[in-house]
Each structure stands twice: as C-alpha cells, then as structure tokens.
Amino acid sequence: MRKKKHSLGFSLMIAQSLLLPVMYSSAAQAADAKTVRTWKAKCASCHGAEGKGDTEQGVKMKLPDMSKPQWQKENSDEKMKQAILNGVKKEGTEGMDAYKDVLTPEQVDGLIAYIRSLAPKG
C-alpha cells in the first residue's frame, strides 16, 4: 500500500512539473496578445507592425526603425517610457501624442518590452 501512495505522489509531482510551464506559457501568451492589440491600436499606424516606421504617416514624420540594433542601443527603457507617457514633439511634424492618461503602467511596460522584442535575435 505504501508503495502505491509513493507512486501516486511521485506521479502527481511529475504532472505538476510538466503542467506549470504550460500554464505559465499560456498566461504569458495572453499578456503578449494584449500588448500586441495595444500596439496595433495605438502605435502601428505610425510605427508600423514591426516598428520600422515604414507606414505612410511614419515616413511623413521621418520615424526611425525601432527594430535596428543601433536604435535599440541608443534608446533606454526610461527614454521610451517618457516618450510614450509625454509624447514626442518634433519641429515641423505633428509629433506623437502623450498616452499618460490613456495607458496603464502595465501597458506602457508591455509596449517597451514589445519594442525590445522587435530587434533581430542573435
């Protein structure tokens, strides 16, 4: 009898260790899906789906390609956060609206992580 309990306990431990990463992964994917929706709704019309600034509006505003390693290196998370919260004013262009009264801190952090993910891997 004792051996069966040990076997059952061991089986449950193995099942839990296999399911936790799957459950975590699903939660992370849901958060990423929300961030992608926010990006598409608030950012992509100018910055483009891949952050390259290659939309009609992005070209007109001369937006940089945020996926380039050099851009990623030159722009800290804090700098991006301030741009998202307070907007960006460029002389001779419309500039970027401030989102401090629109996005939650979690959404801002998600967008920064999303922008970081646009850089090529490797």
What CATH number does residue 108 fall under? Answer: 1.10.760.10
Establish if 13 belongs to a structural domain. no
Q: What is the pTM of this model?
A: 0.73
Establish if 50 belongs to a structural domain. yes
Contact, 35 vs 114, CB < 8 A? yes
By residue range, what is the domain housing residue 82?
28-117
Q: Averaged over 35-41, what is the pLDDT?
A: 96
Establish if 40 belongs to a structural domain. yes
pLDDT at residue 23 is higher than 60: no
**pLDDT score, position 94:** 77
Summarize pLDDT for 58-112 with one digit per residue, the tens: 999 999 999 999 999 999 999 999 999 999 987 777 789 999 999 999 999 999 9
Q: At what angle do helices 105-117 and 2-42 cross, to 10 degrees?
A: 90
